[in-house]
Structure formats: structure tokens, C-alpha cells
Amino acid sequence: MDFNSQQGLELMRVVVFNGTLRTCLERFPPLRLISAHETIPLFLRENTMKLKLNKKAITRMQGILIVVILIVIAAVGGYYMTLAPPTPKKGKLVIDWWYESSGHYPQSADQAAVYKAQMEKTGIITVNLHGADWPSYKKNRDAQSMPVFVYGWYPDYVDPDDYVFPFLHSQGGGWLHINYNNSAIDKLIEQARAISDPTQRGTLYSQVQKIMVDDAAIVPVFQGTAWAVTKPDVGGVVLDITQNMYYWLITPPAGKDTLIVGTTDSVETNIDVAEAYDFFGLNVVLNTGAGLVYIKPGSGAGPNDFIPGLATKWSASADSLTWTFDLRQGVKFSDGTEFDSSAVKYSFDRSLGLYLDDSSQAGIGYKDIIDSVEATSKYQVVFHLKIPFAPFLSLMAFQGSYIVNPKLAPKDGAVNYVEGDARASNPNDLGPYLLTEWMRKAGKDYEMKYDANPNYWGLADGYPKTQHIVIRFYSDATALALAMKSGDVDMAFRQLASSDIKSLQTDPTVKVWQGTGSFIQYICFQEKIPPFDNPKVRQAIAAALNRQELVNTVFLGQTAPLYSMIPNGMAFHEDAYKTLGDANVSFTVSTLQSLGYG
């Protein structure tokens, strides 16, 4: 082909003014071309070459050279066009980190300070701490206004299902309001709770824990130990895996019929089994109400550790879809009404009918488990299940399954606090104690009193051991420790600081009780608030945690690092979060830098 200077110029115009190349040149200034009648600077390595274009002077060789150069420029420009534009720098990741500040959880402010230090040690994260008292904290949670916050959990029923369904399942975890939803993990959890074979359950829970880390929606941090401190002559304190406080087993100080207990805890909402879903509220239910079965206090909550409650015996069908309970006879509510199967049916129909958003029934998914409850005779009740729920007896021992007095618990709503009327505030009256006093103002508890229930079916066995329990509420751990040391209370339970526990362990005027801990604390991310909707951001934060440092500095070694939502020592536990490491600063930095932070 004969190629002359005029053809070269025409080709150059086509290439130079092509829209794609023009876009390339605008995005990448070093490859800039100018008009065909001007000088064209081309930066190749360290040499600058200038071509003066003149229609008369241009030669055939110059035309070819121009075309070659333009083709190279077009190729380079086209390559750069295929690349994603550089990620704009966002500066450091700023986290508004929330913690509960009124003593509901142990040493929350101290924990928060350590979290802040660990995050900021990466050099790429800034943490702003925010504290709120327990009532406000819960409101903030429900309002979905806390980007990152710390929460805790005590078991409802002692099974791995109770540590995954209420958090990682889209329905069960709804009470946290963090907007996490993964259909794959939902399906695995539903399969695991519907079978009893341990090998199959283990395989499913292993997959659940892998996804748990991949999504990093909730990050476990530590597992607590149960502690109580009493005067030396107080006996019968049992601290077991259920985390319950069985006041009816405790003997008071010598010569007294009253036990005075101090705590920093409080009732979250109410003490109605149809809505209560906090530790202290459910512990009131435990001591003033009763369920069909109990887990033997002090046991490991194994399959042979269930003992009679309002039911004296029970059996399951071969397919585990039908459970039959024979009821204790001669039991009376506080008003003298006889307890029978109609009260059991009423209690479950009521809770399942109300199915309040923040209730244990909704959180656990009772409707997915229980199809119906049938009163087959005056003293027999049958549960028809939708699935062969493996931990069903554990669920029946949980306070959310306790039996209410139908005359005190309406079907159209929950029973809330009634000022000056403890009896009207509590629909539970089949347990060892009756709630006779409850002083509360503006949602803050000041004092409660339990008196022995004269109709309690366990009186013949010598329970309760103490006739009266007085519970006093303290503002913080320091005030509680002072009350214990001064003798103002006979017992301190929830929450003493680790330093106070250590000090009291060498104090001859008190006795320190230690028990199995299944309490866990974990970090939640509000996925409605960017960038915490991004699992990479959540993983980066999780990797920056140093659990052992937290355990050593805040809790003086009295807790244990936790790497799964399923606690240490429980069936199917795996140290899943160890795959991200502890204080893995390089992972945190590289991950956040890839997202534009720095």
C-alpha cells in the first residue's frame, strides 16, 4: 500500500479525535495529544520527542512513525481504560462505639476503653466512645441508632441452638435489630435444631460457625465466670451452667430468716413470661414461678439432669413430635385456685398468641417448634411439635415456658409494673416465693421483696430455706462492693468488678463463690449504617481485637477468650474466629486500605 503524508494526517485525525482515546487522554494526562498543527509532546521514558507537523514537509517515513506512535498511545490508553479508577482516600475509619454504663454488664466502661485502644493501635481506626444506661441502651438498640455496640447473653436453654438461633438466624436474631440476614445460615440452623443425631448436628454447626466468621455480623469476645460473695455463714449458693440464682436453696445468716441481696442489675421491661427476656427479669420469674421441669441445680444440664417440676413424669413419641406430661396434683395458685392442665394450655396459647417482638418466644422461635398444646385430661397435657426439636426438655425448663396464673395474665397484653402493687405486677405465683414488694421509679429499680409462698408444692421438702429475700439495687460495682464490705448486704450478686472479687477472695469476713460460666459478651454491628453493612469492614474490626489482653487487663484473668458464639466447653464449639487472628493489625490495615481508608 502506498502511504503518503496526507493519508497519515487523516489517520491521525481519526485516532486523535476518537471518543474512546479522547476519554483515555482526559483520564490519564501524561498521554495528552494536541492539535495536528501544534507541537505534540510525547513522554517516553526520560526523553522528550517533538514532532512538528507540516503538510508539505512530512515524509512517508514520518507518516508511518506518527501512525505507530498513535497506535501505541491508543493501546496504552485502552489498557488504562479497563482498570478501575483509583479508590478515593477516605481517611481513617471512624467508629461510634457504644457500651452499657449502668452496671448491667460487667465493667463495661473498662472494656470500652480497651476496645478503643486496640482499634486505634492499628493507626487506621478512630473510636468515639458513647455510654448509655440500660433502659436507654435498649431503646437505642431498638431504634437501630448504635453503629457498633457490645451486648451480652445468658442461656435460655442449655444447647448450642440457644447461642446461634437468637443471633444468626434472621428471625431469631430480630430482637437485636441489627438487620443481619443470610438465608444459607438460616437453613443450616433450622436443620440442626430439628435433628438429634450428634454427628449430623456437629457437621451443620461447623458450617454455621464458618459463615459466622465470613459474615462477621456478630463477634464473640469473652466468656464469663459466675461469681457471688456472701457473709461467711450464708450457705447453699449454687452457680451452675444455667446461670440461675436459686434463692430457695440458700440458707440465711445464722439466727435470721431474711437474706439481703445487693445487685447492680435491674428489670429490663417486666416480669411476664410472655415478654421478659433479660437476666434479672427471668430470675424473678424463676423464683416466683414454676415450670413443668427443672434442670437439677449444680448439674451439667445433661440428658439425665431433668427433674420434676409441675410435671411428675413425661414421655416422647418415637418420632419426638409428641410430648406427654403428667401433672402434679394438689398445687394451688396464690388465690387458692387449683392448678391443672388448663393453666398449662392457657399459658402457652397466650404467649404464642401475643408473640411479642422482644419476647423469648419470638426470639427462640416457639412457633416454629410448637404446633399446639392439648389438655387431654385434668392432669395431663400433650405438646404437638412441628419439628423433632432436640433440646425440647431444656426449653420446658426455661422461664419462658413457665406457667402463669390465668386470672393475673390477660390474653390481650403483657403484665407491666403497677406502682404500689407488686401482686398486680407479677403473673407468676406457683414458685417458692411470692413477690410482695417492688419499688420502681421512672424505670429504675430500688428494692424488691420475696416472701415464702404458703401454697408452694415444695414446702414438704423444706423449701424455701429462707423465708424472706430482700433485693437492693446499687448504682455501680463500687457501691455494691462497699455495701458487701460494710455488712449492709448478706450477699452480692451481679456485678462486682474483677478487682473487688480479687480483693474479697483474701477477706476473712466474706466468702467468695465461683461457678461455671456460660455468659458471653459479643460485638454487634448495625448493618443499616454504612460502612458496617460491609463484611470486610466488620472482619477488619474483628481482627484488631486482642481478647487475651482484654481478659487479663479488665477481668484479671477471671474470664476466658471466646472465638465462637457457642461457648467454650459446649458441644460443637469451634474456635472459628481464630482464623482472623488476635491483634492481627496487618490484616486490619490491608483490608481497610483496600476499601480506601488510610
CATH number of the domain residue 556 falls in: 3.10.105
Q: Would you say residue 186 lies in a domain?
A: yes
Q: How far apart are CA 317 and CA 362, in angstroms?
A: 26
Tell me the residue range of the domain where 581 lies: 93-224+517-594
- Asked if 185 and 212 touch (Cβ cutoff 8 Å), the reply is yes
64 with 105, same domain? no
Model confidence pLDDT, tens digit, residues 366-376: 999 999 999 99
Mean pLDDT over each residue of the chain, to the nearest integer: 89
- Tell me, letter by letter, the H, E, C secondary structure of 87-154: CCCCECEEEEEEEECCCCCCCHHHHHHHHHHHHHCCCCEEEEEEEECHHHHHHHHHHCCCCEEEEEEC
pLDDT for the residue 86: 58
Instruction: Write down the pTM of the prediction.
Output: 0.80
Q: Which position has the higher pLDDT, 45 or 495?
A: 495
Q: Residue 355 has what pLDDT? A: 97
pLDDT at position 90 is: 85
Strand partners, 448: 438, 471
Q: Between β-strands 258-263 and 491-492, what pairing exists: parallel, antiparallel or unpaired?
A: parallel
Same domain for 108 and 72: no
Q: Are 153 and 32 found together in one domain? A: no
Q: What is the model's pLDDT at position 342?
A: 98
Query: In whole angstroms, what separates CA 17 from the centre of its chain?
Result: 60
Pick 72 or 367 by higher pLDDT: 367
How many Å is the Cα radius of gyration of the chain? 33
- Helix-strand-coil split of the chain, %, nearest 5: 35, 20, 45
The span from the CA of 74 to the CA of 11, in Å, is: 13
Please tell me whether residues 54 and 77 are part of one structural domain.
yes
Which is higher by pLDDT, 18 or 426?
A: 426
Of the chain, the percentage scoring pLDDT greater than 70 comes to 85
**Residues in the chain, overall count:** 598
Q: Is there a single domain that holds both residue 104 and residue 16?
A: no
- CB count within 10 Å of CB 125 equals 22
pLDDT of residue 31: 38
Comparing 302 with 9, which gets the higher pLDDT?
302
> Per the domain annotation, does 198 fall within a domain?
yes
**Statement to judge: residues 202 and 153 lie in one domain:** yes
- How far apart, in whole angstroms, are the C-alpha atoms of residue 111 and residue 126? 16
Region 27-37 average pLDDT: 40
Angle at Cα 402 formed by Cα 400 and Cα 407, nearest 5°?
115
Q: Per residue in 545-586, pLDDT tens?
A: 999 999 999 999 999 999 999 999 899 999 999 999 999 999
Which amino acid makes up residue 374? Answer: E
Mean pLDDT of 312-316: 98
On whether residue 77 sits in a domain, the answer given is yes
How far apart CA 171 and CA 534 sit, in angstroms, is 21
Widest distance between CA atoms in the chain: 122
**Domains in the chain: how many in total?**
2
The SS3 assignment for 10 reads helix
At 70, the amino acid letter reads L
Q: Is 462 left (phi over 0), alpha (psi -120 to 50) or beta?
A: left
**pLDDT (tens digit per residue) in 331-361:** 999 999 999 999 999 999 999 999 999 899 9
Tell me: cis bond preceding 6? Omega within 30 of 0 counts: no
The domain boundary residue, chosen from 31, 59, 82? 82
Helix (H, G, I), strand (E, B) or coil at 2: coil
Please indicate, yes or no, whether residues 160 and 203 belong to a single structural domain of this protein: yes
Domain annotation covers residue 340: no
Structural domain contains residue 416? no
What whole-number distance in Å separates Cα of residue 17 and Cα of residue 437? 88
The angle subtended at Cα 223 by Cα 219 and Cα 229, nearest 5°, is: 145
Residue type, 339: F
Same domain, 108 and 218: yes
Please indicate, yes or no, whether residues 111 and 55 belong to a single structural domain of this protein.
no
pLDDT (0 to 100) of residue 443: 87
> Cα(149)–Cα(188) distance, rounded to whole angstroms?
26
438 contacts 417 by C-beta, under 8 angstroms: yes
Residue in the block written with cell 461510634: 96
CB-count burial class (<10 Å; 0-12, 13-18, 19+) for 409 = buried
pLDDT for 84:
55
Per the domain annotation, does 114 fall within a domain?
Answer: yes
Q: Is there a contact between 387 and 368 (Cβ–Cβ < 8 Å)?
A: yes
- The DSSP code sequence of 328-381 is PSS-B-TTSPBP-HHHHHHHHHHHHHH--TTSHHHHHTHHHHEEEEEEEETTEE
pLDDT (0 to 100) of residue 47: 42
Q: How far apart are CA 595 and CA 593, in angstroms?
A: 5
Q: What mean pLDDT comes out for the span 220-234?
A: 97
Q: Averaged over 52-68, what is the pLDDT?
A: 55
* Residue-level pLDDT at 83: 59
- Domain for residue 320, yes or no? no
Percent of the chain beyond pLDDT 90? Answer: 81
pLDDT score for 33: 38
The better pLDDT of the pair 341, 19 is held by 341
Average pLDDT of 274-281? Answer: 96
CA 422/CA 59 separation, integer angstroms: 106
pLDDT band at 39 (very low <50, low <70, confident <90, very high): very low
Angstrom CA distances, 482 to 102, 226, 316, 504, stand at: 17, 20, 51, 11
- Checking if the pLDDT of 56 tops 90, the result is no
**Residue 366 domain-assigned?**
no
**Which has the minimum average pLDDT: 34-48, 209-223, 549-563?**
34-48
pLDDT value, residue 502 = 96
Report residue 76's pLDDT band, with 50, 70 and 90 as the boundaries. Answer: low
Question: Does 120 share its domain with 214?
Answer: yes
Domain boundary among 82, 112, 143: 82
Q: What are the φ and ψ backbone dihedral angles of 285, each rounded to 5 degrees?
A: -60, -45
Which regions of 526-584 does DSSP assign to beta strands (E)? Answer: 560-561
Confidence of residue 402 (pLDDT cuts 50, 70, 90): very high
CB 92 within 8 A of CB 124: yes
Distances (CA, A) of 101 to 137, 150, 343: 9, 11, 40
Cβ contact 99:133 at 8 Å:
no
pLDDT band at 481 (very low <50, low <70, confident <90, very high): very high
The per-residue pLDDT for range 143-193, each reduced to its tens digit, is 999 999 999 999 999 899 999 999 999 998 999 999 999 999 999 999 999
Q: Look at strands 125-132 and 93-100 and give their pairing.
A: parallel
- Cα–chain-centroid distance for residue 81? 45
pLDDT for the residue 89: 75
Higher pLDDT among residues 558 and 37, named by residue:
558
Q: What is the dihedral of CA 421, 426, 427, 428, to 10 degrees?
A: -130
Same domain? For 119 and 217 the reply is yes
**In this structure, are residues 447 and 470 in contact, taking their beta carbons and an 8 Å threshold?**
yes
Instruction: Using the 3D structure, point to which of 28, 56, 82 is the last residue of a domain.
Output: 82
Q: Reply yes or no on whether the pLDDT at 87 is more than 70.
A: no
Q: Is the domain of 97 the same as that of 75?
A: no
Check pLDDT > 60 for residue 18: no
* Least confident interval from 26-40, 177-191, 228-242, 473-487: 26-40
